[in-house]
Each structure stands twice: as C-alpha cells, then as structure tokens.
Amino acid sequence: MSFTTFRKIDNQTIRPLQTGMDLLRNPHLNKGTAFTRAERRRLGLSGLLPQRTSTQDEQVARVRENYLRKDNDLEKYIFLIALQDRNETLFYRLLNDFIEELMPIIYTPVVGQACQQFGHIYRRSRGIFLSRHHRGHMHQVLQNWPEKDIRVIVVTDGERILGLGDLGANGMGIPVGKLSLYTACAGVHPLHCLPITLDVGTNNESLHHDPLYLGLPEPRLRGADYDALVEEFVAASQEVFPRALIQFEDFGNLNAFRLLRQYRDRVLSFNDDIQGTASVALAGLYSAERLIGKSIREHRILFFGAGEAAIGIGDLVVSAMTEDGLDHSEALGRCWFMDSKGLVVKSRSNLQEHKLPYAHDHEPVDQLLDAVRSLRPTVLIGVSGQAAQFTQEVIEEMGKHNPRPLIFALSNPTSKAECTAEQAYRWSQGQAVFASGSPFDPVEFEGSRFVPGQANNAYIFPGIGLGAIAVGARRITDEMFSAAAKTLAGLVSADDLAHGCLFPPLGKIRAVSAQIAVAVAEVAYRQDLTSLARPQDLLAFMQAQQYTATYQQYV
C-alpha cells in the first residue's frame, strides 16, 4: 500500500514526505502530542509541540473529555469532524472505541441536521464537488484529488437526503459520513475513500435565498443535461480511479432506479438506499424466523411507502421467497405497498414503473389502518419518511391478527420514524418485534426489558464494499446482498433474540463486516466476477485488509 503522503519502509515504519508544520497540518500523518522526542528531532517538530509526549490512550481520554463537554449533538458532530480534519488516526480510534455512542452523531440521525446546516457550520472542504461548470473536463477535476489509489467513492446529488428531501450541495455530509463508516465499521483505509457531490442545483427555494448556501442557487438539472453530467462523472471516475467502487447515495426516486439499471452491469456500483436497505431489512426478517417460528415464505408484508427503499426491500424479499419455494407471482402477491395516494392496486392509473409489479387486484384503500384490517399483514414496514404514521390503532390492529407482529419503522432520521420503540412495545402489550432505522434506547415494559434492533445500513454496505474491493470484483450483484443478509442474521445471538433484538450489537460491527465481506467474496468467486486467486482462508484475508487506527513509527 503506497500513498502520496509517505513512503513505506516496512509494516511498522514509514517516512513522511512532509516535515514541520506541514506534517502537523496533514490529518493522515499527524500524531499531535504522540510524536516521540526522536521523531520530533528528525521531522522538524522540535518546539512545535508541548514538551510532554502523550500516548494514544491519553489522547483518546482528552478528546473524549472535550467531546462530552459539548452542549448539543450538532456541536458534538462539529467537534468530531474537526478532529477528523486534524488527526484522522485519533478520530477513528475514538470512533472504534465508542462506536455505539458516536455512530448516531457522525451519521443518522445527527448527520441530517448537519446537512441542513452545512453552509452555516462549514469549516474545511472534504471531497470533490462536481457541477455543470466542470462538463468536458471532469477527468482533470478528479485528478486534483491528492490520493490516487481510490477504492470507494460515495456520490450523491443531494435530492433525497435521508427523509429530509432536497438539500442540494448540503448533502455532502452524507458521503463524508458514509465513508467514515466504511473505515470505522469495515476497516477500509481512509485514504482509499473519496466523497463526491454532484451539484446539479436544488429545487429547495429556501436554499436559493440563503446567503450562506454553498451550492449552485439554481433549479435542478433534469433530462439529457443531467444524464450527460452523470455519464461523464462515471466515465471519468473509472478512468482516473479504475479500481473504485461507486456507491450511489440519496438520489431521488426519479433517478435512483434508472441510474442503478444503467450502471450496475457496466461498472462496480450499487445504490445503498435501494440495495443496502433491502439487505438489512431482509436480515431482520431472517432473524425473526428464529424468534417467531415463521419462515420468510409465510409472511404477508405491507410497506408504508413505495419509494426506492421500499421497492428495494420488496424485490429482495421476493427473491428470498422464491428461493424458499414460492413461485415468483405468489411471492409478489405477498408484498403490498401504500404510497401517498393509498394502496397500490391494479385499478390505479399512472403508476410509476417500479410499482407496477406490486399492483394487485384489490379495492382502493386510502388509509393505513383500513389496509391493515383488510390485508392482515404479518409484517408492517415503514419507509415513508413520515413521522408517527404507525398509530396506536394501527399497532393494535397488527396485534389482533399476529401473536408477534413485526413492526419495522425504518425512516430516518429519528424525527421521521413511523413510531418509536416504546410505542410499538406498549401498544402491542410487549408482543411486537420492533426494528428501526435510527437508534432507540432499550424499553422497560411490565417487567421485561426490550432492546430495539437498529436496521442500520452500516451493517451491510461497509462489508459489501470491503469484500468487493478486496477480491477485485467486477460487479455487485443481488446475490451478494442476499448473502450479506443471511450472514448478518446468522450472527445474531440467542441472547440478542431473547431481548427482541434482530441485529448484533454495533460494538461487534467490524467483525460482522469481515464476515459479510467473506460472503460477498464467495459470491464473486462463484459467479466468476474476479480473476484474483482465491485465498485459502478468506476470513483471515479480509481481516488482514482492515485498517487499524494505531500510530505508525516515523523515521
């Protein structure tokens, strides 16, 4: 592994190509007060730091103490990003040590607030912004990035940031946060990661009138101009960074499905909102089999929401049902969707293309409660971005027909969740099996303690990426997401299930990601998607690829 900022001497020692203040200003190499006296003499740092040398453990204690002094979550986010900009190794060490506590800050739900305030809290540029002004020379723009061995690109156009809508260039917080999780959760080296925002304008009028908004204050590009910009970006990124995986993130429904179809068989790419969400939700259903004794093929699922996340889950569930013995049409018939106009049924006109396979024969239904009464689903999945839609009446109705109803309130951030964990447990008299997109605290109810599972995409996409890039996969396939779901479900312990939790603790996520990477690699070899020789011990191989946030010795 060779980077532009240093020369490798051996596995423990590197020689920085920078010295003095330039070295201290380089977050990839800076160790701050942890530079030894010998390193300070050799690297022109004498007198530039306080005299006492700190261990990394002492630095962690110092930054954590300062972190805990912050008054609110947004200030905590700003503090962590500043640490990442100053000392990347220390940032990831802190994140690894306190992943369950810090993940909600660096990603959902707090990253949503950070995106809304992006222009107001902006400190230092991270990543690349591409716009129509770069048309014709995106190749040169991408070459401005200092690191050349990029393996993972997360790109957004900012149109559908979490459940918050069109935030334009403010959406850069999402690729930055996702790539932090690639490193923290799967050990992808941070110097292999590149966040990109396609600044194609915004239809959010409030941003047009915000003098601190940093994106183009103009309407969104649509049609041929938009497609040409995306095409040039994909082609240029493949030329400049030929080993890079492209993860499409938070694109609007208008483009998300279309871009996935257009590029999934051309370049190493996937859409996390469609495929990653589907995989983690399917893992929850597989885990629930052990808890309630109902196989995937026996479920009737009602989705509240019919966008990219909902359809992505539906498509992967249909594949799982057919694998479990149902024919395709019967599997489709077990998945029902509600959108803003009601139940998706055949009698409706002007349905979007991605909804058509799930338009079934049924009378029109406008209200969720009426749909639950009529369809009697075993699983209710919320992917609507609309808060408080799973009312007490809806949860109670689910409980009338199911001894253990599955309630998945997956919309992000927390403020958009269809119901809270406490509501699901209380209104179901403790019978619900609950999962959410954002974190909820454990709930005490009538002498029992419930630990709500977080159906967090971070369980899936970092392992998918690690597995694909480690073995040089040429494509990401649906089978990889199915394999990831089965692997994740298999790592849920009996103790987790005893508390109603369908996912492993986040504290184990690096180990989980390594196992998922193995499952992805197995699919790549089975489908002949890589020309690299298969390592004898795939798990040991994946673990060896994982970046560890420890300081190296400098000479």
pLDDT at 15: 78
Q: Is 45 domain-assigned?
A: no
pLDDT at 4 over 70: no
pLDDT value, residue 3: 45
pLDDT tens-digit map of 383-441? 999 999 999 999 999 999 999 999 999 998 889 999 999 999 999 999 999 999 989 99
Residue showing tokens 């694998």: 323
Top pLDDT among 163 and 67 is at 67
Residues 255 and 393 placed together within one structural domain of the fold: no
Least confident of 12-26, 46-60, 160-174: 12-26
Confidence of residue 33 (pLDDT cuts 50, 70, 90): very high
Dist. CA 521–CA 529, nearest whole Å = 9
Q: Is residue 188 part of a domain?
A: yes
Do residues 114 and 133 both lie within one domain? yes
Q: What is the CATH number of the domain that holds 238?
A: 3.40.50.10380
13 has pLDDT over 80: no
pLDDT above 80: residue 350? yes
Domain residues for the domain of 349 are: 275-458
Q: What is the pLDDT of residues 203-213, one digit of tens each?
A: 999 999 999 99
Residues 258, 304 within the same domain? no
pLDDT of residue 163: 86
The answer to whether residue 521 sits within a structural domain is no
Cα 486 from Cα 479, distance rounded (Å): 11
The pLDDT score that the predictor gives to residue 514 is 98
Average pLDDT, the chain: 96
- Among 5-9, 67-71, 147-151, the range scoring the smallest mean pLDDT is 5-9
Judged against a pLDDT cut of 90, whether residue 5 lies above it is answered with: no
Number of domains in the chain: 2
What does the pLDDT look like over 87-124, one tens digit per residue? 999 999 999 999 999 999 999 999 999 999 999 999 99
Report how far residue 467's alpha carbon sits from residue 516's, in angstroms, rounded to the nearest whole number.
7
Nearest to 539 by CA among 505, 503, 504, 512: 512
- Domain edge (last residue) among 458, 492, 524: 458
Which CATH number does the domain housing residue 428 bear? 3.40.50.720
Considering the domain boundaries, does residue 301 fall inside one? yes
State which of 236, 267, 298 marks the end of a domain: 267
Residue 47's φ and ψ, nearest 5 degrees, are: 85, -15
* Domain match, 289 and 409 both: yes
pLDDT, mean of residues 510-529: 98
306-335 pLDDT, tens digit each? 999 999 999 999 999 999 999 999 999 999
Boundary of a domain, candidates 239, 267, 295: 267
Q: How confident is the model at residue 1 (pLDDT cuts 50, 70, 90)?
A: very low
User: Is the domain of 71 the same as that of 162?
Assistant: yes
Q: Is 259 exposed, middle or buried (0-12, 13-18, 19+ CB in 10 A)?
A: buried
Taking the C-alpha atoms of residue 360 and residue 358, their distance in angstroms, rounded to an integer, is 6
Asked if residue 307 and residue 252 are part of one domain, the reply reads no
Domain membership flag for residue 254: yes
Identify whether residues 200 and 99 lie together within a single domain: yes
Phi, psi of 245 (to 5 degrees): -85, 140
Do 304 and 227 belong together in one domain? no
Q: Do 288 and 403 sit in the same domain of this protein? A: yes
Predicted confidence band of residue 2 (pLDDT cuts 50, 70, 90)? very low
Give the tokens for residue 260: 């996935």
If asked whether residues 263 and 281 sit together in one domain, one would say: no
What residues act catalytically?
Answer: 107, 178
Buried b (16+ CB within 10 A) or exposed e, 75-99: ebbbbbbebbbbbbbbbbbbbbeeb
Q: Does any domain span residue 547?
A: no
Contact 174, 249 (CB under 8 A): yes
In a domain, 49, yes or no: no
**In the prediction, which pLDDT does 259 show?**
97
Residue 14: the pLDDT is 80
Same domain, 240 and 295: no
3-state class (DSSP) for residue 334? coil
Claim to verify: residue 370 and residue 396 sit in the same structural domain: yes
pTM of model > 0.85 = yes
Q: How high is the pLDDT of residue 11?
A: 65
| Of 546, 548, 522, nearest in space to 535 by CA | 522
In a domain, 509, yes or no: no
Q: For 234-263, how does the pLDDT look when each residue is reduced to its tens digit (9 = 90+)?
A: 999 999 999 999 999 999 988 999 999 999
Output the pLDDT for position 16. Answer: 83
